[in-house]
Amino acid sequence: MAMARWGGEFRRWEKVPGSPVCEVDLDVDAMLRARLMALLPEAGWLSEETADRPDRLARRHVWVVDPIDGTRDYIRGRPGWAVSIALIEDGRPVIGVLDAPAREEAWVATIGQGATRNRGRIAVGERHDMAGARVPVDVLPKVDRDLVAVAKPNSIALRIAMVAADEADLVATMRWGNEWDVAAAVLIAAEAGAGVSDARGGALRFNKPDPRDFGVLVTARGLHEAAVARLAARGAG
């Protein structure tokens, strides 16, 4: 549905300044809710484009969805967007799917069973030195000039998936972010062997009353402790 309308005409607006949305977000959200809830009617629902309901907190299973992660790229006709779907069980993701049709990529993970891209097994890299670590960003700040910038999709979920596939070594944010942005991607990364935490190095939990975490940190296998220490020195700790 999203791919068929990508590059075409559709309504778009800003929910708040700097936060774009379009009618395709809402249409995909409605379709996913109908189909996913039919699969698991007892599950709760948490989505960027649906009004939150507190009854999800009493559910063991919750669908956590971003119908188009990377809406800015979608609106501009760029391929850096994905549909993000996670099934949460008792606060942790157990199924994660990222579908990025404009990139011809489908990422899937099930807890304890590894992660795939287009059905091929993926694994993180083995980097142990921060110097030279690949980071998907537009521009590196001066303090991080020991790192290497690589191409950055607008979707944070796809940036995390790049670490899972050894196309990047480090993704870090230091701001409050929503569960639907990362729920599927962090399972894919973890199942590929990545280090995964919030910006302080703490465990990520999902289906919280306030569905946000302070940042996300996803790294190659040998970088996580060094990355946590670097962020802590900047106030994330």
Asked if residue 169 lies in contact with residue 133, where contact means CB atoms within 8 angstroms, the answer is yes
Q: At what angle do helices 156-164 and 179-191 cross, to 10 degrees?
A: 10
Tokens, residue 54: 């507190």
List, as residue ranges, the binding site.
48, 66, 68-69, 181
- Residue 152, CA distances (Å) to 11, 48, 78, 107, 233 in order: 26, 22, 11, 17, 25
Tokens, residue 188: 């894919």
Q: Which candidate, 63, 81, 64, 88, places its Cα nearest to that of 24? A: 81
List, as residue ranges, the binding site for Mg(2+).
48, 66, 68-69, 181
How far apart are the C-alpha atoms of 85 and 66, rounded to whole Å? Answer: 7
How far apart are the C-alpha atoms of 37 and 130, rounded to whole Å? Answer: 43
AA letter at 22? C
- Return the C-alpha torsion angle 223, 221, 187, 137, nearest 10: 50
Torsion sign, CA atoms 187, 190, 194, 200:
positive
